[in-house]
Structure 1
Amino acid sequence: MNNNVQAHLLGGGIGSLSAAAFMIRDGKVPGANIRIYEAAPLLGGSLDGAGTPEHGYSLRGGRMLTFDNYECTWDLFKSIPSLADANKTVFDETVAFNELYKSHSQARLVDKRRAKVPVASMGFSMHDRAQLLKLSLADETELGADTISDWLDPSFFETEFWYMWATTFAFQPWHSAVEFKRYLHRFMLEFSRIETLAGVRRTVYNQYDSLVRPLQEWLQGQGVQFILDCKVTDIAHTISDGKFVVTGFDCLRAGNSEHVDVAASDLVFFQNGSMTDASSLGSMSRAPEKRDKTDSGGWTLWEKLAAAQPGFGNPAAFNSSIAESYWASFTVTLQDAAFFDKMQAFSGNEAGTGGLVTFKDSNWFMSVVLAHQPHFANQPPGVKVFWGYALSPDRIGNFVAKPMSDCTGEEILRELCGHLRFDLDVMETANCIPCRMPYITSMFMPRLHSDRPLPVPKESKNLAFVSQFVEIPDDVVFTVEYSVRAAQMAVYELLGIEREVPPIKQHDHALSTQFEALIKALK
């Protein structure tokens, strides 16, 4: 047992929760020795999900899951009991759920005529194929801080492949070529089935109810202390033998200033940066407020640390251009099944089997997805919930003469019904809550290798970074897996745990996978 280890986790997202679990399970640290500090009133960070049937539910977003990848995530959740059945793990219940509800989209792309776009072909020219192959084989040092559009001509961004790949993973042409290349390799299995999303797996409910809540309950049962409404504002440190050693930190707890001392033998895990920082919600009659990092201060602490230690990364590479990292989502709560019935008849998919439906000619580049119902643990029978998002919310709509960023929930529903050619009466009971997220794809911004710190920087003695903004070779950001893997790597290194972090499965090295991807690219 590591009875003498005290751990402070600054931020309550999935990375910190996972780090706590790995410390207990694999590091034998008593749960009572672990404290998680979170500025919000709830844990979970970007894996959120909240609301009521009366006032409407809200999800800022949902991350894609697969069983073929996500090695560290499932390694963790094979140890966490299900809330529904203590004899099953979260992994067990997720596998069983996906056996019942398999993804096979029949309406992946829809054009301006409301016609389903044929997607058997990826729409590549030979020139597109040659450029894509060249990018996928390029070394990361060669790609540097280049954008995707630095390597691919404008014609590529009009292919069926791009419409599907971009909306599945939220890429834009101006995003990092390195990240795009990593996705091509990490998700090469999905390349050959991108039109059906057959490789996508889903949790029973939204990811807050299905992943965060059972993990939080297990940690609580182990004695982990959750300190909510507590914002860490500064980290005190000293340099000892050339190493950065945290000696304490300042925080605002329920509005009161406090200082927490940290011994040299203690461990500190810091969530540097947040893709949902400065997000805001609107309503049926109000557009979301436009915020930036000055409204939340969510990036301030990383900026302070990075200014003092070059090895701690460069947050400016990620948070300096909201126009390039921003998109908007919306969650719709319905008191009847009228919209679901029409959508299921149109798409040919029952809710929970279709994945994203993307309106490829939408000025907003809008997509919607109907999850299996109920999507929230407290969602009563008869209530339906669906989610959507738009990658180009600053453009004027096709049916509403405003940018989505200025639209109320009612206006977003009007735009959606316009694309579907549905009468507005299917939304008679709807409550649409829009969400603005200025930094949602900030981790995709073009960057240099040095712009992200390692989970445990070589300059650090007792401080680890756990977030989407650390450097993990070959893995991909904007996934639950990235945060969980960063947490596992950091915990194992700081505690000297000999158990191997589950290696990244090299599906892209398999000849069968390469052959299937080649066949798909040639269609």
Structure 2
Amino acid sequence: MRDSVKAYLIGGGIGSLAAAAFMIRDGGIAGGDITIFEATPLAGGSLDGGGDPDGGYTLRGGRMLTTDNYECVWDLFKSIPSLEHPGQTVYEETIAFNELHKTHSRARLVDRNRFKVDVSSMGFSMQDRLELVKLEEADEKDMGDSAITDWLSPAFFETKFWYMWATTFAFQPWHSAVEFKRYLRRFMKEFSRIETLAGVKRTVYNQYDSLVRPLQHWLQQQGVQVLFGATVEDLSLTDDASTVTAIRYLRNGETQTVPVRPEDLVFFQNGSMTDASSHGGMHSAPPKLDKRDSQGWALWEKLAAGRPQFGNPAAFNASIPESWWASFTVTLKDTVFFDRMEKFTGNVAGTGGLVTFQDSNWFMSVVLAHQPHFAGQPQGVQVFWGYGLHPDRIGNFVAKPMAECSGEEILRELCGHLNFDYAEVMAKANCIPCRMPYITSMFMPRQHSDRPLPVPAGSRNLAFVSQFVEVPEDVVFTVEYSVRAAQMAVYQLLGVERAVPPITPHDESLKVKFDALIKSFK
């Protein structure tokens, strides 16, 4: 054990939790020497899940998982015991669950006539194919902060491929071309099956219950201390910014300072895609908040001022209209909606993935997960989740922007797209909408230098662990990105000789390339 080293982690999201686990498992640091500062009452960050059957369950979102790509996530969770299945790890529990519940969507896209769209063809023209190849082969150094629209013609954004790819991963046409290119390469294996989502894997419950809770439980068993309600306001650094010397935080109305020695470690979760999120209710829309209300970006902005090695947060948080969308979680106390959806889609809940209404002004999608979706969810209660990528637009059936709609109005819009009778299928529904102003901020066009390295050049004891760091070839908006950044940072700062699991090069497989080529010409 490294008895002399203490570690401090700022933010209790999956990146910090993973870093703590890697320090204990691979770095020889005692759990009792690790402290996590979390401003909210819960750990998990953006991997959240809460509520109850009476007040309504809430999910801001869910990250897509695969077993073919998430090398660092599964390396971690092969070491974390399941909370519900003694003798199994979280990884083994997840694999067993997905063997029982395989994804094969039968209603990936629905058109304005409530017909299921034939998605056997991607709808590409030869120009689309050539432009995609040019983008996929471009050098990131030459791409700079270009947008997807700089590389692909307007007609591409009307293809069935775009409707499916954009809603699976939450891309907008104005987002970063570099990130879009990375997705094309990282998930090339999914290209040929994007219409069925067969490569998507799911956790037993929502990701808070299935990933965060068992990981947090294991960390607490190792003696890791989590200070909830603790907001870190500043870090003291040496003149060359190479070493953190103190942490100042606010808790219970009192400002406290923790001295940090040169041999100690500090991990900082810079930025948050769910910062300034707000919830509405069945009869109220979510309030409009931004970073001034939450101060969630303040520490990174303070640290980065005059220190280019710490990145440029303004590249990501300066334009809410380009980075926001809205989601909603629906709690039902009868089976009418699920029964009607199963009949309409041909999928039992948990086997279909996203159902996207391609002509929806809100660009709305819904997904019905296997039930129960929350640990402790009572029998007879069902939960589903949905979102709209264009919440600023007037609905097709409700004459208001999605962002200004209550839960009831969102459900009426949904029923309009499905041609369901609202009074029949939503009689016992509770819909909680959520506004997320920075949810795709990490997709914003940016220069290579706008994201710090997990361990910035010259740093001796400070690491950045988040969706806003630079991990070559990997893709943001995934659990894998945060966990990989954490593993890289821990191994580098502690000199761990064990290798970080490499990214699986599916895009170099001849079979994967051939399958993608065949799919593009259908």
TM range (shorter): over 0.9
**Corresponding residue of 2:300:** 302
**Residue 205 (structure 1) aligns with:** 205
Structure 2 residue matching 1:402: 3-state secondary structure:
coil
Once the 2 structures are TM-superposed, how far is the Cα of residue 258 of structure 1 from its aligned partner? 1.1
SS state at 1:413 partner: helix
Q: Is the 8 A contact 1:475 1:482 kept in 2?
A: yes
**Match of 1:40, SS?**
coil
Matched residue type, 2:218? W
For residues 44-100 of structure 1, what are the alpha-carbon distances to aligned partners after superposition, in whole Å with 9 as ceiling and x for unaligned? 000000010010000000000000001000000000000012300000000000000
Equivalent residue number for residue 156 of structure 1: 156
Alpha-carbon distance in 2 for matches of 1:373, 1:326: 29
1:336-360 Cα offsets, whole Å, 9 max, x none, are: 0000000010000000000000000
Q: Residue 488 of structure 1 aligns with which residue?
A: 487
Please show how residues 288-299 of structure 1 align to structure 2 within 5 Å.
Answer: 288-299=286-297
Paired residues of 1:243 and 1:461 also in contact (CA < 8 A): no
Residue 515 of structure 2 corresponds to which residue in structure 1?
A: 516
Whole-angstrom CA distance in 1 between matches of 2:387 and 2:410? 10
Are 1:62 and 2:77 matched, yes or no?
no
Preserved contact between residue 311 and residue 459 of structure 1 (Cα < 8 Å): no
Aligned pairs (5 A) from 1:335-350: 335-350=333-348
Superposed displacement of residue 40, structure 1: 0.3
The whole-number CA distance in structure 2 between the counterparts of 1:321 and 1:378 is 39
1:395 paired residue number: 393
Structure 2 CA distance for aligned equivalents of residues 167 and 304 of structure 1:
34
Aligned residue number for residue 497 of structure 2: 498
CA distance in 2, matches of 1:261, 1:283: 44
1:381 equivalent among 372, 379, 382: 379
Letter in 2 for 1:435: C
- What is the rounded CA distance, in whole Å, between the counterparts of 2:83 and 2:241 in structure 1? 42
1:144-293 equivalent positions in 2, closer than 5 A: 144-239=144-239, 242=240, 244-293=242-291
TM-aligned CA deviation for residue 257 of structure 1: 1.3
* CA–CA separation in structure 2 for the residues paired with 1:280 and 1:16: 23
Secondary structure (helix, strand or coil) at the match of 2:374 reads coil
Give the number of equivalent residue pairs: 521
Query: Could you say what secondary structure the match of 1:308 adopts?
Result: coil
In structure 2, the residue matched to 1:363 is 361
The whole-number CA distance in structure 2 between the counterparts of 1:86 and 1:143 is 49
Match of 1:106 in 2: 106
1:27 maps to a residue whose letter is G
Runs of at least 5 residues in structure 1 that lack an aligned partner in the other structure: none
Tell me the distance in 1 between the aligned counterparts of 2:400 and 2:241: 53
Match of 1:33 in 2: 33
State how 1:402-481 maps to structure 2 within 5 Å. 402-424=400-422, 425-481=424-480
Identity between Structure 1 and Structure 2 (%):
72
| Alpha-carbon shift at residue 289 of structure 1 (Å) | 0.5
Q: Which amino acid aligns with 1:293?
A: K
Q: Which residue of 1 aligns with 2:91?
A: 91
Structure 1 range deviating more: 301-310 or 513-522:
301-310
In structure 2, distance between residues paired with 1:248 and 1:172: 40
Aligned letter for 2:179?
A: E
What root-mean-square deviation, in Å, do the aligned CA atoms of Structure 1 and Structure 2 show?
Answer: 0.6
Q: Distance in 2 between matches of 1:275 and 1:517?
A: 31
**Structure-2 separation of matches of 1:457 and 1:507:** 29
> After TM superposition, which residue ranges in structure 1, 4 or more long, deviate above 6 angstroms?
none
Distance 1:302 1:497 in 2: 27
CA distance in structure 2 between the aligned counterparts of 1:360 and 1:420, rounded to whole angstroms:
12
Structure 2 residue identity aligned to 1:368:
V
Take 1:359 and 1:247, find their aligned partners in 2: how far apart are those partners?
53
Q: Separation in 2 of the partners of 1:173 and 1:319? A: 18
1:71 is aligned to: 71
Q: Distance in 2 between matches of 1:132 and 1:487?
A: 32
Shift of 1:255: 2.2
What is the distance in 2 between the residues matched to 1:126 and 1:85? Answer: 51
CA–CA separation in structure 1 for the residues paired with 2:13 and 2:220: 15
Query: Which one-letter code corresponds to 2:176 in the other structure?
Result: S
Check if 1:82 corresponds to 2:82: yes
- What does residue 132 of structure 1 align with? 132
CA distance in 2, matches of 1:86, 1:346: 38
- Report deviation, 1:460: 1.2
Stretches of structure 2 that go unaligned for 5 or more consecutive residues are: none
Deviation of 1:203 (Å): 0.1
Taking structure 2 as the reference length, the TM-score comes to 0.99
| C-alpha displacement of 1:243 | 5.3
Partner of 2:506: 507
